[in-house]
Amino acid sequence: MVTDVAAPRVRSRGAVLLLVTAIVVVALNQRPAVVAVAPLLGELRADTGLSSALAGLLTALPVLCFGAFAPLAPRLARRIGLETAVAASLVLLAAGIALRLLPPVALLYAGSLVAGAAIAIANVLMPAYVKREFTRPGAVMGAYSASLNVGAAAAAGLTVPIGAALGAEWRVALASWLVLAVAALALWLPVAGVRGTRTTPPEASSWSLLRQPLARQVTAYLGLQSVQFYSFAAWLPTLLADAGVPVREGGLLLAASNVTGALGALLIPAAAGRMAAQRPLVVGVLAAYAVGLGGLLLAPASGTLLWVAVFGVAQGGGFALALTLIVLRSPSPLVAARLGGVAQCLGYLVASTGPVVLGALHDATSGWTWPLVLLIALLAPMVWAGWGAARDAVLDPAGTRTASRED
């Protein structure tokens, strides 16, 4: 259920630990279905004959689904219960990953679509679930956000070695992440359960929140941050390969960026929860983006580990901050789910264009200079959006005004 009035349950320390573990394992599943494609793009394109733009679409499709299906998540949770909706998302994710095993290229895209829809549901509902179940959600949001990065790092660094160890083609390597989805479902069901009462939909539409500048700024910050992450995840191994870095090392460097991202994701939500306004964190994140992207633009084959590590801190901390802002700017779990649905719908629809545009721009210019220049230019509107979203304010649930704690 998603409700404004439900209070956090009283649990023993062991029960809290089990619940946090379940949240972490669910989070681990929310990036591999997307990130695992990037290290395999060369082999995939050689086998299927896909162009750079179509290969970019394969990576972008789940992100497009994150946006398209995000508004359905709060409705699904109200109908069948929040816990049940998360369990259903894990079943869908397993089905989407399994579809990628089948030979037709169309089913490769279909599996990406199903997996993207599944992740969209969990993306929206997990922060709302954390807000409902924990009186101080900052530390748990940090663990959740860090786990997103760990899952992405594992997919980036292990997908190719798993395929090699199994002596299997790229399809089997992609489908190997099915094991993690099944494990998450097996843990979630006994710990969180599928219980939950139905509640009636709120009178105000989720989209009415966008009448408030604060909601629009949170949405814009999430979307622009996600453009950076998914564009980087889709094309970094290829960019580095074109600069002379071996393909296997490119996947490992992508994994390294997600490992450093996990550190930023772990620390920033806890820090954000102790601050009335999170603007210093926004400035720090944007500075790290500028250093990482600038380094890749000027010297992609020199100091590469430093550039991807700094970018990793930026993307991990930036995305964790975006999710935490959804929680902090919302007065209740229900509003957090509504804002999450709207922000992720529009934000991920924008983000889904990133890999495709960068792939097309690379094909048009035969290089990575202009794609990187574009990502750097997008930092300017991200500063504006983050600065507004990080102010000390909360949303009005009716969607008509911003209830600000600032004078």
pLDDT surpassing 50 at residue 291:
yes
Q: Which domains does the chain have, with CATH numbers?
A: 13-404 (1.20.1250.20)
Residue 320 has pLDDT above 50, yes or no: yes
Confidence class for position 407, pLDDT limits 50, 70, 90: very low
pLDDT number for residue 44: 84
Query: Lowest-pLDDT range, 64-68, 179-183, 359-363?
Result: 64-68
Reported as a single tens digit per residue, the pLDDT across 56-68 is 778 778 877 888 8
Q: Mean pLDDT in the chain?
A: 85
pLDDT at 284: 94
- pLDDT value of residue 221: 96
What is the torsion angle, in degrees rounded to the nearest 10, for the CA atoms of residue 33, residue 34, residue 36 and residue 41?
A: 130
Q: H-type helices in 204-332, by residue range?
A: 213-242, 247-273, 279-298, 304-328
- More confidently predicted of 336 and 28: 28
Q: What is the pLDDT of residue 406?
A: 45
Q: How many C-beta atoms surround the C-beta of residue 329 within 10 A?
A: 26
Q: List the structure tokens of 217.
A: 């700024």
Residues 25-31 have a mean pLDDT of 94
| Rounded distance between C-alpha atoms, residue 285 and residue 397, angstroms | 29
Phi, psi for residue 393 in degrees, rounded to 5? -160, 160
What's the pLDDT at 405?
56
105-133 vs 72-80: helix crossing angle, rounded to 10: 60
pLDDT of residue 241: 85
Instruction: Quote the percentage of the chain above a pLDDT of 70.
Output: 91
170 pLDDT higher than 50: yes
Average pLDDT over residues 304-328: 91
Residue 223 in this model has a pLDDT that exceeds 80: yes
Average pLDDT over residues 10-23: 85
Higher pLDDT, 192 or 383: 383
pLDDT value at residue 194: 60
Q: 332: pLDDT confidence band, cut at 50, 70 and 90? A: confident
Question: Is the pLDDT at 181 greater than 90, yes or no?
Answer: yes
Binned at pLDDT 50, 70 and 90, residue 2 comes out as very low
Contact present, 68 and 120 (Cβ < 8 Å): yes
Segment 4-19 mean pLDDT: 70
pLDDT at 290 over 90: yes
Q: Is the pLDDT of residue 399 over 70?
A: no
Q: Is the pLDDT of residue 193 over 80?
A: no
The whole-number average pLDDT for the span 203-224 is 87
pLDDT of res. 279 = 95
pLDDT average, residue stretch 2-14: 60
pLDDT at 214: 95
**Confidence label for 225 from pLDDT (cuts 50, 70 and 90):** very high
Task: Point out the least confidently predicted range of 26-40, 215-229, 251-265.
Answer: 251-265
pLDDT in tens, 84-137: 999 999 999 999 999 988 888 888 899 999 999 999 999 899 988 888 888 778
Query: What's the pLDDT at 262?
Result: 84
**CA nearest neighbour of 74 among 361, 359, 290, 343:** 343
Cα–Cα distances (Å) from 310 to 169, 171, 248, 343, 375, in that order, read 33, 31, 20, 26, 15
User: Which residues, 6 or more positions from 128, have their beta carbon under 8 angstroms from its beta carbon?
Assistant: 2, 74, 77, 82, 333, 334, 336, 337, 340
